Chain A
Amino acid sequence: MENFTLEAAVIALQLQQMLMELGYELDLNSGRKIGDFYTEDGAFLCSSCAYRGRDSIVEFHRDHLMRVRGTHKDGVRTTRHTFTNLRFDIQDNNHWSVYFISAYYAGEGTPPVPKLAGPTTVSDCRMFCRREADGKWRIAEFGVTPIFLGSDSSRTAR
């Protein structure tokens, strides 16, 4: 386990903040600006999918949004990604990895959504991050492995 220096602690907070902004983007903006979070060559990987390159990731989220509009009550899927247990692995000043747990809550229709019975999925996640020339941290690779599946998980697309 790393013993953080002041500089490293600030980076850890920056990455934590980025992750929480990512959750907000997915839940409150349906991932319309998800491309801003990824490097040009970024990858999104799940157990049965692989989207490589920013354009491919943006397209995945756009397609998901279109499916929701066509199949869900009111054309809306209410979601909240909650992220806990963040662990940081430092490669160098410009390359860090963040490992964490995602508990994902989802249901059809607009909030408040009734019948909450726990998370839809609990997943192990990894996020390889790179600080680019403009000083901003972006995601070079995001990987997700579902560990527990709850109600409505068959309709979970991300």
Chain B
Amino acid sequence: MTNLIVETALTAMQLQQLLMEFAHELDFNSGLKVGELYTEDGTFILRDSVYRGRRAIIKFYKDYAARVIAEEKDGVRTQRHSFVNIRASVEDSNHATLHFISLNYSAGGKVPVPNLTGPRTLIDCYMKCRRGTDGRWRIAEFSNKRIFFNDVEIPGQCGARAS
């Protein structure tokens, strides 16, 4: 367990902010600028698929956004990633790892979305982070594992999202 002191506490807060910006980007911009939050060689691991490099990650989200437009009700998928239980492990001044739980609410169509019965998935996540020469923290590796899921089929949906 990391015993936070002033310096590492500041890092923990910076990383928490990065994580919340990440969620905001996914939920309000369909991840179209998510590449800015990853390192150039960043990796995104989604179940059996591995996306290596910023370009591959950007392509994943662009393809996903295109599927949403084509397949979802009103061409929209509403979602909120609620990140909780954030644990920061600060390795050194430029490397740290976040562990957290993602409660993912999502459905096809515009807000407000009716018939909420709880989160669609509960996912364990980890995010390895690296501080670049510009002083900014970015995601070097993001991976997740489904722990609970709501398997009720919702017509027209593209399927469970990345995180």
Interface residues of A (CB under 8 A from B): 6, 9-10, 13-14, 17-18, 20-21, 23-24, 78, 80-84, 105, 107, 111-119, 135-136
Q: Interface size of B by Cβ–Cβ distance < 8 Å?
A: 31
Interface residues of B (CB under 8 A from A): 1-6, 9, 12-13, 84-88, 99, 101, 103, 117-122, 124, 145-151
Contact across chains for A17 and B122 when beta carbons are under 8 A apart: no
Contact across chains for B4 and A14 when beta carbons are under 8 A apart: yes
Contact across chains for B103 and A82 when beta carbons are under 8 A apart: yes
Contact for A111 among B5, B12, B148, CB less than 8 A:
B148
| Chain A residues within an 8 Å CB radius of B9 | 9-10, 13-14
The 4 A-B residue pairs with the shortest CB-CB distance in the complex, in nearest-first order? A118-B118, A112-B146, A116-B148, A116-B150
| Known contacts A10-B5, A114-B149; A20 and B117 CB within 8 A of each other | no
| A34 CB, nearest partner CB in chain B, Å | 13
Q: Who on chain B is nearest to A137 by CB?
A: B3
Contact across chains for B148 and A113 when beta carbons are under 8 A apart: yes
A105 to B87, CA, bound (A): 19
Q: Who on chain A is nearest to B103 by CB?
A: A82
| Chain B residues within an 8 Å CB radius of A135 | 3
